[in-house]
């Protein structure tokens, strides 16, 4: 495979669980090299899709290719080139960091002792855990555990990295360190960041998809999607009691509390008057407008014209 860019192609993937919940409804995505954000609320189907890509679950229908590998049929090949950091990955609290990473390296098939020692050292340094290599994993902070998870996921130079909800529960400094670490990875591999936190995507990802209730609502480049909302997002600060009335009258896409008052964002292609002011949109507006069912059609239209 060498260092050629590789991409992931997902076609018509569906998955319904035994209890009747349809987690994925005919999903198709093309995911290029680099950092790709999969953004959606909890329960949207993100983890199901991540687990299918990681060969831990099988879809009911559809096909997936990673470069030349058929992900659903050649699971062993996928596993050899996969780095997976699940939402909750179990740690052995009594094990020391370097011993555990060494053990994971053996599982990845790095059997030569000297090269294993080299790899383990390099990864602990890359994830900034070298000083802590003798420490037991049970004593690690949330951010250290996440970085250790990345070190383990990076064993064997994966071509596909799947990172599921990585920043939940990290403090701001740890979050920044963690995101910086991730952003270095996307050069020669596909890195999928599955999250419900808009900032994770806006800071890192060059492409993204918004998923809800098992369906892809929008695929976009974050910057372009934000540009597409210029002139369409209006803001007003109101008393909370006014909300129901505003929701009847306008396309309210989000409400936020701000020191006891409520900041309302509405979607409108003309000035709604009524003391609303125009605001510069951000990715959160894209997310909420898309979730509310406004806006994505127009973006798709633009993208189609570009392709023609």
* Helix extents (H) in 110-205: 113-126, 142-153, 172-183, 198-204
Check whether 10 has a pLDDT greater than 90.
yes
Range of the domain at 92: 8-220
- Chain segment 284-301, per-residue pLDDT in tens: 999 999 999 875 444 444
Say yes or no: 191 and 231 in one domain. Answer: no
Averaged pLDDT for residues 6-26:
95
12 domain-assigned: yes
Task: State both tokens at 186.
Answer: 């996307």
Say yes or no: 67 and 143 in one domain. Answer: yes
Following DSSP, what letter does each residue of 44-74 receive, concatenated? SSHHHHHHHHTTSS--SEEEEEETTEETTT-
Say yes or no: 94 and 159 in one domain. Answer: yes
Burial class (CB in 10 A: 0-12, 13-18, 19+), 37: buried
* DSSP tag of 96: B
pLDDT on residue 295: 57
Rounded to the nearest 10 degrees, what angle do helices 113-126 and 97-107 cross at?
120
pLDDT on residue 299: 47
pLDDT on residue 22: 94
The Cα–Cα gap between 275 and 141 comes to 47
Q: How confident is the model at residue 188 (pLDDT cuts 50, 70, 90)?
A: confident
3 domain-assigned: no
- Chain segment 135-156, per-residue pLDDT in tens: 999 999 888 988 898 899 889 8
The Cα–Cα gap between 106 and 188 comes to 23
284 domain-assigned: yes
262 domain-assigned: yes
128 domain-assigned: yes
90 or 71, which is more confident: 71
Task: State both tokens at 262.
Answer: 């409520």
Q: What is the count of structural domains for the chain?
A: 2
Q: How confident is the model at residue 186 (pLDDT cuts 50, 70, 90)?
A: low
- Domain CATH number, residue 52: 3.40.50.300
Averaged pLDDT for residues 202-227:
93
294 domain-assigned: yes
* Helix extents (H) in 90-141: 97-107, 113-126
Q: How far is the first Cα of the chain from the last one, in angstroms, to the nearest whole number? A: 32
Task: State both tokens at 293.
Answer: 């069912």
pLDDT on residue 55: 94
150 domain-assigned: yes
Averaged pLDDT for residues 266-288:
94
Nearest in space to 162 (alpha carbons), one of 64, 240, 255, 249: 64
Contact 59/24 with Cβ under 8 angstroms? Answer: yes
Instruction: Look at residues 160, 195, 220 and tell me which one is the last residue of a structural domain.
Output: 220
Tokens 């192609």 appear where?
9
Q: Label residues 264-302 b or e (16+ Cβ within 10 Å = b).
A: bbbbbeeebeeebeeeebbbbbbbbbbbeebbbeebeee
Say yes or no: 245 and 264 in one domain. Answer: yes
Check whether 40 has a pLDDT greater than 90.
yes
Average pLDDT in the chain = 89
Identify the weakest region by mean pLDDT among 55-59, 93-97, 148-152, 300-304.
300-304
Say yes or no: 294 and 180 in one domain. Answer: no
Angle at 126 between CA 94 and CA 222, to 5 degrees: 110
205 or 187, which is more confident: 205
1 domain-assigned: no
Say yes or no: 187 and 299 in one domain. Answer: no
Phi, psi at residue 46, to the nearest 5°? -60, -50
Say yes or no: 32 and 57 in one domain. Answer: yes
Say yes or no: 41 and 109 in one domain. Answer: yes
**What pTM does this model have?**
0.86
Instruction: Look at residues 220, 244, 274 and tell me which one is the last residue of a structural domain.
Output: 220
Say yes or no: 214 and 301 in one domain. Answer: no
Check whether 91 has a pLDDT greater than 80.
no
* DSSP tag of 196: S
Check whether 304 has a pLDDT greater than 50.
no
Query: Across the chain, how many H-helices and E-strands are there?
Result: 11, 14
The Cα–Cα gap between 122 and 107 comes to 18
Say yes or no: 159 and 180 in one domain. Answer: yes
pLDDT on residue 3: 58
Q: How confident is the model at residue 89 (pLDDT cuts 50, 70, 90)?
A: low
Say yes or no: 72 and 120 in one domain. Answer: yes
Instruction: Look at residues 220, 253, 274 and tell me which one is the last residue of a structural domain.
Output: 220
Say yes or no: 241 and 206 in one domain. Answer: no
Averaged pLDDT for residues 67-95:
88
């Amino acid at each position: 495979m060498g260092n050629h860019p590789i991409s992931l192609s997902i076609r018509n993937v569906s998955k319904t669980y035994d209890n009747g919940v349809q987690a994925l409804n005919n999903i198709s995505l093309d995911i290029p090299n680099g950092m790709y954000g999969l953004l959606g609320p909890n329960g949207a189907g993100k983890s199901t899709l991540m687990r299918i890509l990681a060969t831990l679950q099988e879809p009911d229908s559809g096909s997936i290719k990673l470069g030349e590998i058929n992900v659903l049929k050649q699971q062993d090949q996928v596993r050899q080139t996969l780095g997976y950091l699940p939402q909750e990955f179990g740690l052995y609290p009594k094990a020391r960091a370097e011993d555990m990473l060494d053990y994971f390296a053996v599982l990845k098939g790095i059997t030569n002792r000297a090269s294993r020692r080299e790899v383990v050292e390099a990864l602990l340094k890359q994830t900034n855990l070298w000083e802590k290599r003798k420490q037991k994993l049970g004593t690690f902070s949330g951010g250290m555990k996440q970085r250790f998870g990345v070190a383990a996921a990076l064993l064997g130079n994966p071509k596909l990295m799947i990172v599921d909800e990585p920043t939940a529960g990290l403090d701001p400094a740890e979050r920044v360190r963690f995101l910086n670490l991730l952003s270095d990875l996307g050069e020669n591999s596909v890195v999928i960041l599955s999250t419900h936190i808009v900032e994770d995507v806006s800071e890192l990802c060059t492409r993204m998809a918004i998923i809800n209730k098992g369906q892809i609502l929008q695929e976009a480049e974050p910057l372009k999607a934000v540009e597409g909302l210029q002139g369409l997002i209006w803001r007003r600060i109101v008393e909370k009691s006014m909300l129901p009335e505003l929701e009847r009258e306008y396309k309210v896409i989000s409400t936020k509390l701000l020191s006891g008052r409520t900041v309302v964002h509405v979607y409108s292609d003309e000035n709604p008057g009524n003391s609303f002011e125009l605001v510069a949109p951000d990715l959160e507006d894209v997310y909420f407008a898309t979730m509310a069912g406004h806006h994505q059609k127009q973006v798709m239209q633009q993208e189609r014209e570009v392709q023609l």
